[in-house]
């Protein structure tokens, strides 16, 4: 396959995006691409120039999306007893899409497109493409139908048995954020479609061009155009659409504030992968100190800290601080440069907001700047975005636990910002008390090879994706393990068969009872 045929689906080229050559994103409904009555222009996150125009669907346009979503019955587009050949269809679509993404030009296309709208290093952008490609590869061939595998139990008499099925919800909605514009929407969309649902997709408009292009690629790989609708609109319009369309299930990935509102508005018909204030504990055994410092830097500052799994607070055993661990972390962070986007614009938090938060933390007794704490210099990032150096603020553990400080210290700042604290061995219960009080339980890391220490910490905590061992990290949502919160009945997962079945299907039991009726049966009243 040559590069021209590999990119035949594309309607935009990342390196051509500019004020002189802006791109018009389109919406998709009932299998047709089109513009909206209203649109908005997006500023380039690196220089402020208007480089993409996105449609903004208005309330007057919602009936078409509502009718499209409601055209899908509750039993879905397919299920184990209806249109089962579509399981095979989606296995084939996944195989073709995985093959396409593996093509060098296509992979590079999406990595560069991600970089243009959600600036991160090429390595980080390419990793997102790789995870998506591997996921699609994992669900090629017969793997889609295996997601709907049923089970049976013998009944009470001849001709009776109960069969448990994984059943689709039918009409569903997917809302995803800006920070992983390819990986999150693709993995959740395909999981929804594999199980037989019809999906309406809403990606943060700042980055929606990535998913628009991926949908065009999926159509070229055989995805039925009517199986998915794609909308760009503002939050209130999307909220109105969800309330009126009444999807049977909605997947929301994003802020806790919006998640809590949607949970009420949709009467609990929702799964959430919301914000995470993610902790890391360095245990008493100090090993591989340079490697651990590198991982801590990656966890806190890769993608400019804009990961829901980013390291938000570091609990450091005194044995690590006595080895100048913070200085090593500072040296790692100092290597990050705007030139290669290892540090870059923060798309949802302004510079002022981050620095104001830092000043509030510094007002806590005993607090100090460990490193960073200054705006980036010599750049053209627009003021609507944030731009600060990788920053860490030290706050004493006992001050963190005080009621007047805890909410401030554990406020998530979606940028290159973390809190560092230190503890003595006898203070481990205080560390665990802090972890218990946090309200978001997405990722965590326990950096230790001390088995007894690991057992104590892991046994007393709840985070849904927890790494343990000297190589433990907080970030990383590959396709080979569960990624999602724990401790919340509305919690969603992503990437694995278990996650897909949990989020995108429900259990249905059918009890077959074919007889025969016993020959000596007589009518009785009970």
Q: In what order do the strands lie in the sheet with 506-513?
A: 151-154, 160-167, 506-513
The beta-carbon contacts of 334-338 under 8 Å, at least 24 apart in sequence, are: 334/371, 334/390, 336/301, 336/390, 338/376, 338/378, 338/379
Q: Which of 418, 416, 462 is nearest to 440 (CA)?
A: 462
In this structure, how many other beta carbons lie within 10 angstroms of the beta carbon of residue 404?
8
Name the catalytic one among 26, 212, 273, 389.
273
Contact 430, 453 (CB under 8 A): no
Q: Which residue has the tokens 């296509």?
A: 106
Q: Which of 409, 404, 429 is nearest to 419 (CA)?
A: 409
Q: Is 509 a catalytic residue?
A: no
Contact 110, 129 (CB under 8 A): yes
Q: Is 273 a catalytic residue?
A: yes
Q: How far is residue 380's CA from residue 170's CA, in Å, rounded to a whole number?
A: 46
* Rounded (10°) angle between helices 428-437 and 451-459: 30
Q: Which residue has the tokens 């794609």?
A: 230
And the tokens for 193?
């479609």
**50-55 and 39-43 beta bridge pairing:** antiparallel
Q: Which of 287, 269, 239, 201 is nearest to 27 (CA)?
A: 201
Q: How far is residue 136's CA from residue 115's CA, in Å, rounded to a whole number?
A: 22
Tabulate helix, strand, coil % of the chain (nearest 5): 40, 20, 40
Q: How far is residue 220's CA from residue 141's CA, in Å, rounded to a whole number?
A: 18
Active site residues: 273, 308
């Amino acid at each position: 396959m040559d590069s021209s045929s590999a990119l035949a689906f594309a309607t935009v080229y990342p390196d051509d995006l500019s004020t002189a050559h802006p791109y018009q994103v389109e919406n998709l409904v009932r299998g047709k691409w089109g513009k909206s009555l209203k649109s908005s222009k997006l500023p380039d996150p690196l220089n402020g120039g208007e480089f993409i125009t996105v449609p903004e669907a208005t309330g007057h346009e919602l009936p078409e999306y509502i009718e499209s979503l409601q055209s899908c019955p509750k039993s879905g587009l397919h299920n184990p007893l209806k249109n089962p050949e579509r399981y095979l269809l989606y296995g084939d679509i996944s195989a073709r899409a995985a093959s396409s993404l593996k093509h060098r030009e296509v992979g590079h296309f999406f990595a560069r497109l991600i970089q243009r709208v959600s600036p991160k290093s090429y390595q980080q952008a390419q990793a997102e493409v790789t995870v998506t490609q591997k996921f699609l590869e994992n669900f090629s061939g017969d793997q889609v139908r295996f997601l709907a595998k049923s089970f049976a139990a013998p009944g009470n008499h001849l001709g009776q048995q109960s069969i448990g099925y994984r059943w689709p919800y039918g009409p569903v909605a997917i809302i995803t954020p800006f920070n992983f514009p390819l990986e999150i929407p693709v993995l959740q969309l395909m999981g929804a479609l594999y199980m037989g649902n019809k999906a309406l997709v809403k990606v943060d408009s700042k980055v929606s061009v990535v998913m628009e292009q991926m949908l065009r690629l999926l159509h070229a790989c055989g995805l039925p155009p009517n199986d998915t609708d794609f909308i760009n609109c503002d939050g209130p319009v999307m909220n109105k659409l969800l309330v009126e369309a009444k999807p049977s299930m909605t997947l929301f990935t994003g802020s806790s504030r919006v998640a809590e509102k949607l949970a009420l508005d949709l009467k609990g018909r929702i799964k959430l992968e919301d914000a995470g204030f993610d902790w890391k504990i360095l245990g008493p055994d100090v090993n591989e100190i340079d490697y651990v410092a590198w991982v801590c830097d990656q966890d806190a500052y890769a993608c400019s800290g804009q990961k829901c799994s980013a390291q938000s607070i570091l609990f450091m055993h005194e044995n690590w601080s006595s080895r100048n661990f913070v200085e090593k972390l500072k040296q790692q962070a100092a290597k990050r440069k705007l030139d290669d986007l290892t540090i870059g614009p923060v798309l949802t938090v302004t510079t002022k907001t981050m620095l104001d938060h830092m000043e509030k933390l510094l007002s806590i007794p005993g607090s100090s700047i460990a490193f960073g704490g200054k705006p980036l210099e010599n750049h053209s990032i627009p003021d609507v975005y944030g731009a600060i150096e990788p920053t860490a603020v030290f706050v004493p553990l006992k001050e963190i636990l005080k009621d007047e400080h805890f909410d401030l210290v554990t406020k998530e700042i979606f940028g290159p910002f973390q809190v560092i604290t230190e503890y003595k061995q006898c203070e481990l219960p205080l560390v665990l008390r802090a972890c218990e009080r946090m309200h978001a339980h997405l990722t965590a890391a326990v950096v230790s090879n001390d088995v007894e220490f690991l057992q104590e910490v892991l046994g007393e905590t709840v985070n849904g994706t927890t790494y343990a061992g000297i190589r433990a990290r907080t970030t990383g949502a590959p396709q080979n393990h569960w990624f999602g919160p724990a401790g919340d009945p509305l919690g969603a997962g992503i990437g694995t068969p278990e996650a897909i079945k949990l989020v995108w299907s429900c259990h249905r039991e059918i009890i077959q009872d074919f007889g025969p009726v016993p020959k000596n049966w007589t009518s009785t009243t009970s």
